[in-house]
Structure 1
Amino acid sequence: MIRSFLNAQIRKFGRRFNYDTSYMHEICAVSPGAVYGLLKLPEFYRYRGPALGQPVWTGALLASTLDGDCGPCAQLVIDMALAAGADRETLRLCAEGQADKAGAMGLGFRFAEAAIKADPMADKFRSEIAREFGEKCALSCAFAAASGRIYPVLKRGMGHGQACQRLDFGDTIVTLAA
């Protein structure tokens, strides 16, 4: 009975974002308890800090996800960001490697890229985020930078890795190289 409930919730999520949830169903078939662990992950990365810093957080999550995957997980982050009201053009600029032209979202994106690569510029970007948007925003971006790669790595570990794909921004398609 619990598997039926969990699978129904998984299907609902998949339909909402046109997302392939087959790996989630596989987890449920093996261990419903593991699904509960999977369901707790958003609590970690969804710490977003203040509303003013949402574009910065979005940029950090997108950079981290793109670092782990340029396929379905990246598309899901884009779709969820657009559904939450993120600016389509700045999302696209970040994905195309033009984060320096993407304002606050680009700042979060560059911060996450630097943090992931252990680039000393991460400290500069973090200080800038804290100065402009507050310490809570800087903390939320650290959470986003750390977490965007979780799902892509989990999926690859389960044999559900995906090749790079075209990312749909609603009005523009961007093809990323692997």
Structure 2
Amino acid sequence: MNKSFLSLLIAVLFGAVALATPSLGRGATFHDGDYVRIGVPNLPQAVAFFRDVLDCQPVNPMSAEGARQSRLMVCDSDSIVEIFDNHGVVSPSSARPTGSRDEPVRFVSNDVRNADRWLRNAGVRVIGPPHTLSSGPDAGQTVVDFVSPWGLRLQLVSWGSNVATAGP
């Protein structure tokens, strides 16, 4: 069976289980959807970051040696991140399928201020203090900006009535 098809099947099955399981509210979940694909220069480092800092859990085993490596991870109730090794890939669009490399990957959290302290204590580079958005669709939400060890911009957005995704 094709390895990428098997990985997709596993992701769908885990996604279905995650949707049926009540959220504990301790992990991050995506703000604008339930799947994101992120290219990283160091796959083991990225897996450790998503597992240890964002409480995402690996779904599939590491890819076979020699093949382009990737890892599926489930973050909280219904969010799946596919982390793939893009070391040596020159295409600027390979790291983020959303198009803009300046756009952060957004997660929602039910306690952004506590998450800010957690990130700082974990040694994550946090950019400024948590702040409240004053305009746009997320006006009134509290946000904390932070950066992964390989330079990917990330955001935690407070879980509130203005957030379009379902939550705990």
TM-score (norm 1): 0.27
Structure with the greater relative contact order (CA < 8 A, sep ≥ 6): 1 or 2?
A: 1
Specify which structure has the higher proportion of helix: 1
TM-score (norm 2): 0.28
